Amino acid sequence: MLNVCLVCNALDDEIVSLPGLSKQIQFKQYSGYLNASKGRHYFYWFFECEKDPQNAPVVLWLQGGPGGSSLFGMSTENGPFRFNQNGKTVELAEHSWNSVANVLYLESPSGTGFSYDDNNNYTNTDESTALDNYLSLESFFVKFPQFKKNEFYITGESYAGVYIPMLATNIYQHNSTINLKGVAIGNGLLLDKQGQISFNQSSYDYALAHGLITTDAYEKKIESCCECTAAHGLITTDAYEKKIESCCECTAGAVQHECDFSKAPNITKCKSVQVDTMRLNNPYNIYDDCPLDTNARQVFDTYFRPAFKRIGINYRLKPNNGVNAGPECVKYGTTTYMNTNAVQKALHVRPGSKRWAPIGGPYDRTHAGTPQAETVKQLINTYNIPKLIVYNGDFDTVCNFIGNQRFVTGLGFQTAGHYREWTVDGTSDGVIGGFVQNYEKGLSFVLVRGAGHMVPSNKPEAGLQLLKGLLGLSKL
């Protein structure tokens, strides 16, 4: 009788007709609520794989923020649907991730999107979110027991650099029967002591390398804030080592200059050097000609601009007055669509839910930004997670590839092979998608060429190839 009830619950969540979708789809989809901790209910949208869903892997996607809705990622990055600007019609997307996997999108944490708490307790921390994410997964596999045997993978971007390692650890710590086989973190916030140093230093390295600041401004900041010590971690270029050695009284040989600007030898001197960069349309993709929309600008101004200012970088953004927004600047109607009564009824949204927004889930920022290096090392060394990929688009200033590559290098694992190119179709003569460095024990760092913070949005074919690499369906 219990199994029958479980199946009924899943059937109750099936989306039988989606408003505005004119083309017939070749897969089943479900949406509704999953139980997290007491009184908390996570909204989900689940898409079965287009081919052989009974045996295809199950992939979870978590948006960043914190407090970003994964439905935003579904509808603009790697899901099967794109909601047109009018907020009424729905198009099918190419390179959808459910072409090779069953894909689950969770609105995490509680209070994000349509997720809610019976007790109106919306205090979310990294620890509570990790537990709620885990409990909602267990709830999902109770509702869909037919997928419990399938391989399971966790993916996401930005603040999911915190969410993903902590969720994976919860799965192992609870001795769950969830068949976790790997994770992929895209343009993630990956910080520990060394990671924080890498963020501080790499932000300047990135700005210099892309012509956003002058060499003079860069050198003045480094000279004012940094110390040098003998190192066994990062390898710098000869010219860079010579400059640091001459300025910072380092001994010859491999050096690492520690640029934790919050702990500079002369903090007053360090803080006095503020650097203005060139104006940008989009700090999430510096070569994007399209200005940020209101929501994206608000996110940057609220969360990322203060972090850059703390280390002395002032990223100036061009105003979004619509003058330079050409036809190539795609605008989606996700917010309008999600707040339509007929759509919410089709998605089984709880009546009386608050207005849906792409970001804005509540979060206790005094308990945020948990360091993840030791957690990642534990996943690899203690729990033997089969595969762990960190990937970055190279046009992103917010979580730049230099800092994340240093994070991976700082984990201390041996390289396996050389840094090399990979192609978007997995063939030897295909279009180069970027570059990859593999390490022992299933660890990889992947650079995605020509992508920004939202890799699957900027480079959908390359993003799908990344997923295939994670799933073992193709070689990166």
Mapped onto helix, strand or coil, the DSSP state of residue 275 is strand
> How far apart (Å, rounded) are the C-alpha atoms in residues 96 and 112?
24
Q: Could you please report the per-residue DSSP string of 203-228?
A: HHHHHHHTTSS-HHHHHHHHHHH-EE
Looking at the DSSP bridge assignments, the partners of residue 29 are: 47
Q: Is 314 left (phi over 0), alpha (psi -120 to 50) or beta?
A: beta
Q: 75, 158, 202, 457: which one is catalytic?
A: 158
Task: Read off the pLDDT of each residue in 244-270 and give the average, rounded to a whole number.
Answer: 62
Known catalytic residue at 396: yes
Tens digits of per-residue pLDDT, 427-446?
999 999 999 999 999 999 99
At position 26, the amino acid (one-letter code) is Q
Q: 396, 444, 457, 474: which one is catalytic?
A: 396
Residue 53 has pLDDT above 70, yes or no: yes
Choice between 257 and 292, residue whose per-residue pLDDT is larger: 292
Phi/psi of residue 429, nearest 5 degrees: -110, 20
Query: Where do the domains of the chain lie, and which CATH numbers do they carry?
Result: 2-191+365-471 (3.40.50.1820), 193-314 (no CATH)
Contact criterion met (CB below 8 Å) for 213 and 207: yes
pLDDT of residue 292: 85
* Nearest partner of 44 among 133, 129, 119, 145, judged by Cα: 133
Task: Read off the pLDDT of each residue in 110-127 and give the average, rounded to a whole number.
Answer: 95
Q: 198, 257, 453, 474: which one is catalytic?
A: 453
Residue 114 has pLDDT above 80, yes or no: yes
Tokens 């970003």 belong to residue:
68
Percent of the chain with pLDDT over 90: 68
Residue 461 has pLDDT above 50, yes or no: yes
Q: What Cα–Cα distance (Å) separates residue 326 from each residue in 103, 248, 295, 330? A: 33, 48, 19, 9
- Which band of pLDDT confidence, cut at 50, 70 and 90, is reported for residue 246? low
Mapped onto helix, strand or coil, the DSSP state of residue 445 is strand
> How far apart (Å, rounded) are the C-alpha atoms in residues 41 and 332?
27
Known catalytic residue at 198: no
Looking at the DSSP bridge assignments, the partners of residue 227 are: 258
> How far apart (Å, rounded) are the C-alpha atoms in residues 162 and 286?
24
Tens digits of per-residue pLDDT, 185-208?
999 999 876 556 667 888 889 999
- The least confident of 109-113, 248-252, 332-336 is 248-252
Residue 376 has pLDDT above 50, yes or no: yes
Burial code (b: 16+ CB inside 10 Å, e: under 16) for 418-428 equals eeeebbbeeee
Residue 423 has pLDDT above 70, yes or no: yes
Known catalytic residue at 158: yes
Percent of the chain with pLDDT over 70: 88
Tokens 């349309």 belong to residue:
281
> How far apart (Å, rounded) are the C-alpha atoms in residues 354 and 78?
25
Mapped onto helix, strand or coil, the DSSP state of residue 335 is helix
Residue 235 has pLDDT above 90, yes or no: no
pLDDT of residue 325: 62
Q: List, in order, residues 6 or more apart from 197 with CB less than 8 Å away.
A: 258, 259, 260
- Which band of pLDDT confidence, cut at 50, 70 and 90, is reported for residue 312? confident
Residue 255 has pLDDT above 80, yes or no: no
